[in-house]
Amino acid sequence: MATASTTADRIGADNTVFAVILAVSFCHLLNDMMQSLLAAIYPMLKTGYGLDFWQIGLLTMAFQVTASLFQPLIGMYTDRRPMPYSLPVGMGSTMIGLLILSHAGNYPLLLLGACLIGIGSAIFHPESSRVARLASGGRFGLAQSLFQVGGNFGTAFGPLLAAFIVVPKGQASVAWFSAAALLGMIVLWQVSGWYRRHGASSAKRLAKANPIALPRRKVAVALAVLTTLVFTKNIYMASLSSYYTFYVIHKFGVSVQEAQVLLFIFLGAAAVGTVAGGPIGDRFGRKFVIWFSILGVLPFTLALPYADLFWTRILTVFIGLILASAFPAIVVLAQELVPGRVGMIAGIFFGFAFGMGGIAAAVLGIVADARGIDFVYQVCSYLPLLGLLTVFLPSTREMRGQT
């Protein structure tokens, strides 16, 4: 009877853990779906407001740099003072930003809406990443992948929803998606209750587990390499997420709706790659996944600027699959390098991802205005070469002090 009771308790605990992970993944889907609407409606905003590419890039930078500045600070603060109920607050900020975007009558209001969405992201990502890790049961890569894939699918759905709802119905229809934010706030309120009840004890156990045997200098070098790889990955991702629709419209003459569908296909492939990256990292090591992801995508990025429409579709699928698989492994490896600082690391890496993507979007917009959109993809195709820096990352055996 005792054995049966223990087994039942364990199964119940496992169900609770996965329920929490899936809940934050679902809210990540809602959060990033709403955020991706901004980039998805760029063609409509460009035409409606007479914007230049640099102004499009500035909108992306307003969103992403706002998020990047606040995320590490929020992560550092909540490592010391957990704030479980900040999660629905972050979702509320995103909802307000959407409402402003839907009724903005001028460019400054568009910037304000983008900034509020960025603040919502800054609050949501560090804390929800911490919740996913606390609920992981030690399968950190799997938990991070499940959490992250929600965001990837949300980012992928944004352009599709924009193509079939926002483009036909107009800018005001963006307000309809505030209902998704309200749903997310309800779910996150329940998650926050679980986090408040179980988070503190779980955090203490994880902080003491798996001590790192590396000297500080090697940890610093590894973190510098990881941030550089995130820089590489997110510049290339920004070139596609912000300008891919313009690229295929310009080069192949496709319609706006078809361009949005092509962007959805790319982002969907990135979501699948994210799911695969975490469990593979748990099984074969984080360094293996990073090698394969950052450097392995190089042949496809080099071929993309010279491909026709058919091969462009194929190549972007492979690029999304391979390149996106690195991020869960990068985040988990960084969290293992600095135990007990889950929020800070999540804030830095999610924030760094947003910030570098935003700065890259602005710079690439200026380059596109000056040299053309084709030139942007020719230059960006060489970025994965920086994946060679992976050689300086420690192996799992080195991190555990094994010879």
Give all domains of the chain, ordered by start, each with its CATH number: 13-399 (1.20.1250.20)
Give residue 186's pLDDT. Answer: 94
Q: What is the largest CA-CA distance in the chain?
A: 75
What is the pTM assigned to this prediction? Answer: 0.69
Contact 295, 387 (CB under 8 A): yes
Per-residue confidence (pLDDT) for residue 304, from 0 to 100: 94
Cα–Cα distance between 281 and 272 in angstroms, integer? 15
Q: Tell me what pLDDT residue 5 has.
A: 38
Number of H helices, E strands in the chain: 18, 0
Q: How confident is the model at residue 307, as a pLDDT?
A: 94
> Which pLDDT score is estimated for 213?
62
Digits of tens for pLDDT over the chain (403 positions)? 434 333 333 434 444 578 899 999 999 999 888 887 777 778 778 888 888 888 887 887 788 778 777 888 888 887 778 788 889 999 999 999 889 988 888 889 999 998 998 899 888 888 888 888 888 777 777 888 888 888 877 877 777 787 788 878 877 888 888 888 999 999 999 998 888 887 655 555 554 555 566 788 888 888 888 888 888 888 888 788 778 888 899 899 988 888 888 888 888 888 888 888 777 777 777 788 888 888 889 999 999 999 999 999 999 999 989 988 888 888 888 888 887 777 778 777 777 666 676 677 778 888 888 888 899 889 889 988 888 888 888 876 776 655 4
What percent of the residues of the chain are helix, what percent strand, and what percent coil, each to the nearest 5?
A: 90, 0, 10
The closest of 55, 148, 96 to 349, measured between CA atoms, is 148
> How many angstroms from the chain centroid is the CA of residue 367?
24
Looking at residue 403, what is its pLDDT? Answer: 45
Cα–Cα distance for residue pair 344/315, rounded to 1 Å:
35
State residue 275's pLDDT score. 80
Cα–Cα distance measured from residue 85 to residue 19, given in angstroms and rounded to the nearest whole number: 18
**What pLDDT is recorded for position 15?**
43
Res 13: pLDDT = 42
| Distance separating alpha carbons of residues 257 and 243, to the nearest angstrom | 14
